[in-house]
Chains A and B, each alone.
Chain A
Amino acid sequence: MIEFWQWFFDFWLNVSPERIVRLFWYFFLLEVPRYLLFDLVVVILFMLKRLWNSSSYQAANSQLFVENPLISIIVPAKNEGKHIPKLVESLTEQTYQNYQLIIIDDGSDDNTPLICRKLEQEGKIDLFLRNEERGGKASAANLGLRFAKGKYIVHLDADTSFDRDAIEKILTPFYTDPDIGAVGGNVKVRNAKEAVIAGFQAVEYLQTITMGRMVASYLGIYKIVSGAFGAFRKDLLDRVGGWDIGPGLDGDITVKIRKMGYRIVFEPRSVSLTNVPTSIKKLTNQRFRWSRSLIRFRLRKHADIFVPDQNFQFSNFFSSLENLFYNVVLDALWFYYVIRLVVQNPDIIFLMIVMKMFLYGMSNFVQVILVCLMSERGRQEIKLLMYIPFMSIYDGYYLRIVRTVAYFREWLTSSSYNDAWNPSKSSVQAKEHRL
């Protein structure tokens, strides 16, 4: 053991900086700039801008309460009855109260209807809509939209719960800029302590959602208002006809709203908590689905974003390009990089892996510290630092492999059309119409 570390330090202390960069070019050229330096700069700018705008933000917030518009909270749910009472409770605690709660049960085969009908009778749910036969998440959301009477639609997942001011905070941005069409809420992990794999996801959510979306939002390339917690202008949803068949319907509708020329922003201060998968198997399935939809929506359905016609918008183009570049192109590049490395430097491959864990660890460390500094619950989140040393295994290997497999499968076989996530009646149509 000691010998290994001796070797490790001897090697890395004696190697030239140039060689380090050459060995870790992937890290230094692609990941450090994108995920660390860039984030650092943008987050600082973001915070400065927020500070700068704080008085107009306050004005927008007061304007919201002066107007006090009715909003509709719509929650598509399948077999999630057990979460609904908690959700209802978390909503009654909200600082913003002029809402209509619509729950759409998409063909549950458990006691969900019983639970919800009772809550409806007690007046805790304003409208409970149930499809005896499952129609898929998009149709459920659309049904909710059809009966929504609010000026804004807040779309939630049933297993999400909220900070007391989350609804207020997600609505306020609409009053800062009339061009804002949708606002994404922050989604954090509630069950981080339940399993190690959940802890990793908690860190990942902080990096990719809290941090990643803040950066994207600042740059104007924010692209997914998450279905777990997002707010939309109802008139815009009506104009685009609501959601299309999923998976990936969250990203899809955001792109549609962007195409109409509206801004999409992320509001890190509007916080919701969600439970993440606690087993590798469930997590893998979830990620397969997420990744497949990227191919399907960015490359197939919204390919026109890359075509310079009269609807062309640079920010949309850039938004999709960044997404594709960092997920698809870089993943391919990474495999190329790893294989080359193994072939060219087989002797030091183990040293490389350890060094890489160290470098990634440092980078992740800085990033999480940064998030915690800004976070409303930084004191709790700082404890997640204990996962940092191993994040490179979760993030760099596990997720990357899952992602790549999913891309290839989708690319080659359009497997998402066979996903059980949609009822087959919808999948058949989606496939036929190449949606």
Chain B
Amino acid sequence: MIPGGKKIQNAGGFEIFLIADYQDQDIRNFALADALVLDWQQPDHTTALLKKIRSSFIESIYLLPVFIFNADGIVGDTERALSDGELSVVQEEPIVKVIRQVKKRREDFTPHETNSSENRILTKLFRYMYTRDKALSPEVDVMAHMGYEYPLIRLHYPAGESMEMLKILRRGTDNDFFQGTFVDKTHICPSCHSGHLNLREVCTQCASAHISSENLIHHFVCAYMGPEGDFMTKQGLVCPKCNRQLRHIGVDYDKPSVIYRCHDCRHEFQEPDITALCLNCKTLTPVENLKEIVLDKYVLTDLGRDAARTGIKVEGEEREFTIPGFVNFGTFLTFLRFEIERIKVSGKESQMGSVSLNLPARLRSNRQQFERVVLDISDFIRNNTDSSDILSFASDNTFFMIFPEKGDTAVATMLNDFRNSIEKLLVNTFENEPEWNLTAQFETLNADTEYTALINQVKTI
């Protein structure tokens, strides 16, 4: 029994509840239900509850068949994408159909454990899509940061993290779990990734939007050519060169092009630049520098359906190694925050370095070999750093290091040595696979360093 829910009787004897009262709903109560019907009388509440259900990581909750009972209101694209359908009258037939299918599909699932949050999200997404034969489509959403959303996966990413969201989808296609088909393209602000852009024609010289255009007129008989304004008189259009009246376009004159004039710098030109003003962060960007996002619709491949059944195992598995002398990434971030605070007080400078392996998934699939390589590299790094340096390895990819007050030049040299040695090691290990792209970089930590900004940056390495 669900508080505030009304059981709907049905021939199959399923536990189907109609929820009209959203007060104090606890989604944990839904785990034993077979399906829910949410009343669309209070759309905001319906939406909130729907999102709560779908963002759970508990299988019996996020896979729950949920319908929207909608007598008159209009259901949004997001709600439609998150639910199993709209009902204008409460009928048992469509509900039971979904319940049966979901139950049947769930029988294929084997338990799945992972400590990689990416893999958890992907597995969950695959299972949802698998039980429903549903595609993951981009939906237009004016409230969304990008203007488009993948509602189901967005639940796990805050508004500003669209790139991370798209990255995980790309991982799905890169590993052949998904097949993407083109739906649309959008352009977003390169600095904040917002899709709310104001595109305007601007002066090619001073970038002012305060420009206006005027037609150019060609008077055939005398070959005079100039802006329409040259011809404007009280008597209509009169040629300033030959004083004849312009009567008939195409016969005695035409308008072969236009001219733009900038009211700020007086520049004249024919093809204005187009720049985008980001309505979110106010950045101005020439359209050609906007970030282009391809919005695909994703369906599961055979491999994707396999991954749904068993969960994502090896590929890209983010297992936390226990590497001697290395702290886990969470601890590392704590150290990093302490170090920044310490620096602020002392007025000194420290460095944070990183070396990313960027190995393709293929080279990580032999787990044993991969872990051995990582351990070799870790040994090397530990032996060549001081005991006061903080070391970590994250995301199967990147070594992070904090070097308290070591000095930029020393760190630069050191990272360069690391890179060279690691490269040799990789060449030896993956002889015929020259397909990596090793990067090493460092950040100077000083009084001006913003912890949150740095963390965001670190997460994208």
Binding site for B on A (CB under 8 A): 107, 117, 120-121, 127-133, 135-136, 138-140, 142-143, 146-147, 241-245, 425-426, 428-430, 432-433, 435
Contact = CB atoms under 8 A, between A and B. Distances in A.
Given A121-B204, A130-B270, A143-B226, A241 B218 contact: no
A147 B270 CA distance: 12
A241 B226 contact: no
A75 to B, nearest CB: 15
A218 to B, nearest CB: 32
B225 A143 contact: yes
In the complex, which of the residues A117, A127, A241 has the most CB atoms of chain B within 10 Å of its own CB atom?
A241
A244 to B, nearest CB: 6
Nearest to A244: B223
A120 B222 CA distance: 29
25 contacts: A107-B256, A117-B271, A120-B269, A127-B268, A128-B270, A130-B270, A132-B256, A133-B254, A133-B256, A135-B254, A135-B256, A138-B223, A139-B224, A142-B223, A143-B216, A143-B218, A143-B225, A143-B226, A146-B225, A242-B223, A243-B223, A244-B222, A425-B250, A426-B220, A428-B220
Interface in B388-445: none
Interface in B210-269: 216, 218, 220-227, 230, 240-242, 250, 252, 254, 256-257, 259, 268-269
Nearest to A121: B204
B216 A435 contact: no
A135 B222 CA distance: 11
Contacts of A430: 221
Contacts of A429: 220-221, 252
A7 B225 CA distance: 66
A138 B256 CA distance: 14
Contact of B257 (A129, A147, A425): A129
A190 B101 CA distance: 83
B258 to A, nearest CB: 10
B218 A139 contact: yes
A433 B219 CA distance: 13
Nearest to B227: A146
Interface residues of B, number: 25
B226 A146 contact: yes
A128 B224 CA distance: 18
A167 to B, nearest CB: 23
A213 to B, nearest CB: 25
Contacts of B241: 241-242
Contact of A241 (B204, B222, B270): B222
Contacts of A120: 204, 269
A430 B220 CA distance: 8
A139 B252 CA distance: 13
Contact of A135 (B218, B221, B268): B218
Contacts of A142: 223-226
Nearest to B243: A241
Nearest to B230: A146
Nearest to A423: B220
A243 B221 CA distance: 11
In the complex, which of the residues B204, B221, B230, B241 has the most CB atoms of chain A within 10 Å of its own CB atom?
B221
A293 to B, nearest CB: 15
A260 to B, nearest CB: 15
Nearest to A142: B225
In the complex, which of the residues B223, B225, B230, B269 has the most CB atoms of chain A within 10 Å of its own CB atom?
B223
A428 B204 CA distance: 38
